[in-house]
Amino acid sequence: MNPPQSCILAVGSSVDTVLPDANSASGFKVEPIMKIVLSCDHRSVDGAVGASFMKVLKSTLENPLEMLL
């Protein structure tokens, strides 16, 4: 983070990851996983606000049709 920035959002690429799946015959499934990291300067942004933003961002990315509602 460089002044006067108060937050920076780092977005990684999507990587296919093997996850356990009890409903699958093989016992696992492959899902694309993307890492997103938010760094905040706590002098200007409360951590709870950053966490709330990340929660909304995660929900929006997982359900993009909600943006149209």
Instruction: Please state the separation of Cα 32 from the chain's center in Å.
Output: 12
What distances in angstroms separate CA 36 from CA 24, 25, 61, one per listed residue? 28, 31, 11
pLDDT score at 3: 82
* 41 included as an active-site residue: no
**Active-site residue (options: 16, 21, 41, 42):** 42
pLDDT score recorded for residue 11 = 96
Compute the distance between CA of residue 66 and CA of residue 48 in angstroms, rounded to an integer.
Answer: 23
pLDDT per residue rounded down to tens, the chain (69 residues): 778 889 999 999 999 999 999 888 889 999 999 999 999 998 888 889 999 999 999 999 999 998 887
Give the ranges where 1-69 is alpha helix by DSSP (H).
47-62
- Residue 24's pLDDT is what? 85
64 Cβ contact partners less than 8 Å away, ≥ 6 residues apart: none
Which run of H or E residues covers position 1? none
